[in-house]
Structure formats: structure tokens, C-alpha cells
Amino acid sequence: MQYLSVKEVAEKWGYSEDTIRKWCREGLISITVRAEKKSGRWQIPADAQFPRIKKNIHI
């Protein structure tokens, strides 16, 4: 399986590297194989889909 770095995914999806790392920690980026840490770095499957995020709106 091919993996992308946090930087590559951030550029691909147009979000900051910090946001991509947060989504990895929260388990929002996954397909059959979840993003995982190897040698202290997130490895994200190349075919991972952009996460669908529900925003909580408090009124």
C-alpha cells in the first residue's frame, strides 16, 4: 500500500498540516486501513478519502 505524508495530504486537500494531524489523531482519516504512526510520523493511505466532519453548532 502506498502512503502519503501529512505535508502531501495537506497540499492535496488544501488544509494545514496541523489540521491533518488532528484528523489522524481523531481517527477521521481512514479507509480500509487507517492512518497510522510509523517512526513518529503519520502515514496516510494514498487513497484515503477527505473526511466528512459534522460541526457542532451551539445556540
40-54 pLDDT, tens digit per residue, is 888 887 777 777 665
Percent of the chain exceeding pLDDT 90 equals 15
pLDDT above 50 for 21: yes
Could you tell me which residues come within 8 angstroms of residue 46 by beta carbon, excluding any fewer than 6 positions away?
A: 1, 2, 3, 4
Average pLDDT for the chain: 76
- Furthest C-alpha separation in the chain: 44
Task: Return the C-alpha cell found at 50.
Answer: 477527505
**Taking phi first (over 0 means left), then psi (-120 to 50 degrees means alpha), and beta for anything else, what does residue 27 get?**
left
Confidence of residue 17 (pLDDT cuts 50, 70, 90): very high
Name the pTM for this structure.
0.57
The one-letter amino acid code at 5 reads: S
